[in-house]
Structure 1
Amino acid sequence: MSLVYADLREYAYAIADGALAHAGPARMASQALVPAQLARSAGVMPRLYDIASATPLTREAALAMALAQEADGEALWLCGLLDVDEGVDQATLARALTTRLVLPLPAVGPCFFRYFDPRVLIQLQWLFTPAQMAWLMGPVRCWKYSIGGAWEDMRRPEVFAAESPGITRRQAFALQRMNVINTLLERLRPASVAALRGAGQDILRQLEKARDHGLARLQDQEEYAWHGVTVHPEFDRHPRMQALLANLPADADYPYRVATADLRPEDFDRMREDLNDPAGHTHERSFS
């Protein structure tokens, strides 16, 4: 479902991804959200657009621009619409949004947090607790974002917001691999928003298993996760995979990729069939 003009009356602000080439409506007032720690990257920081103060003509132009980009299959000039609490002005909103762009991760330190990216936002809905989501949204009571060709509404959880994000080690692991999760989701192309969330969780579980198998390189973890979501969620139980994982080449830059380089699609098909065999006859298969 596309945007309609009523959306630009209901939502007071829009947030845009500064890393995209498209600029927003020229006549709509905007400001860059730039944390002091990321001043050198000001050009790719998100922008906050003031819809409420724009004229009806400017709103129409903003809508027309988004619809044209959508029709051409391009990224839209905005990635979200924000409805805020009563009495919250633009300066207060901008300050809250900017503060959340730098997220402290345990054992890592402060990191750029692309929470405004719909591909990240949709995964945060299961990765974060309700209190963490309430902290993230702050004065934003409803966030409308575009994902998978549709617009979704996300309402702030009705719980007390956490005083600080309190990111756990598991959450930090996932956040550091959000690019990998989204890369694999683009290859999987889930058919619905719910499937995007579910597949994101499946990918994270496979990335964690890759880590637990001793795969330290991100590229190896990505390849392992791809096999986990396309071959079988427990493909590592197969005798052939167990043998490969037990004998990874220690001198290779990417041990898992090297170890599995000779496996053909039909080899993975056989593993899947063996693991789905209720009799569990995985040892009877011949791989040649």
Structure 2
Amino acid sequence: MSPAQWVDVGNIEALQQMLMDLDLQTYADLEQLRSTAMAALRRAHAAGLDDRNDLATFAAKAVTVHPNFDRHPQIAALLAHKQAGDYFTALIDDLSVTDWQRIARDMDVPQAIEPARN
């Protein structure tokens, strides 16, 4: 197995936790849900997250907010300033439902995320 495949195997527990926390009946395409969650889990590991609860929360945000929520400037800044031992759940604890709705809307508007090019 490749190193990437081993990471995916290691993510199964976090994926399972996320799936148990979601109402799966509201999702028509479970394969897309799994694919989105696994891609998010790979990015979470790349960002230095390793706590199972953090990983499950990260994947859940990718499924419920936006597949690339972590590329939003506000979330990217939180992740960029993450210190060793910081938990993702603590980093996002102050974000409200309204904040998450705004992040989802922003992610659907590419010019709101990408810097202007001259």
Taking structure 2 as the reference length, the TM-score comes to 0.79
Structure 2 counterparts to residues 32-71 of structure 1, below 5 A: none
1:22-51 residue CA offsets vs partner (Å, 9 max, x unmatched):
xxxxxxxxxxxxxxxxxxxxxxxxxxxxxx
- Which has the larger share of helix? 2
Correspondence for 2:93: 261
Judge conservation of contact 2:40–2:68 (CA < 8 Å) in 1: no
1:154-185 residue CA offsets vs partner (Å, 9 max, x unmatched):
xxxxxxxxxxxxx3333322222222212212
Give the alignment's Cα RMSD to 1 decimal. 2.5
1:214 counterpart SS class: coil
Aligned partner of 1:267: which letter? D
2:102 maps to which of 261, 270, 281: 270
Correspondence for 2:11: 177
Change (3 A) 1:276 1:171: same
- Which has the larger share of strand? 1
1:281 counterpart SS class: helix
Judge conservation of contact 1:203–1:225 (CA < 8 Å) in 2: yes
Judge conservation of contact 1:249–1:258 (CA < 8 Å) in 2: no
2:53 maps to which of 190, 202, 219: 219
Correspondence for 2:112: 281
Change (3 A) 1:191 1:246: same
Correspondence for 2:72: 238
Per-residue deviation at 1:266? 0.8
Number of equivalent positions: 114
Unaligned runs of 5+ in 1: 1-166, 284-288
Aligned partner of 1:186: which letter? M
State the alpha-carbon separation in 2 of the partners of residues 244 and 236 from structure 1: 9
State the alpha-carbon separation in 1 of the partners of residues 53 and 8 from structure 2: 15
State the alpha-carbon separation in 1 of the partners of residues 80 and 5 from structure 2: 28
1:199 counterpart SS class: helix
Correspondence for 1:201: 35
Judge conservation of contact 2:62–2:68 (CA < 8 Å) in 1: yes
1:26-77 residue CA offsets vs partner (Å, 9 max, x unmatched):
xxxxxxxxxxxxxxxxxxxxxxxxxxxxxxxxxxxxxxxxxxxxxxxxxxxx
Higher-RCO chain (CA-CA 8 Å, sequence separation at least 6): 2
Taking structure 1 as the reference length, the TM-score comes to 0.36
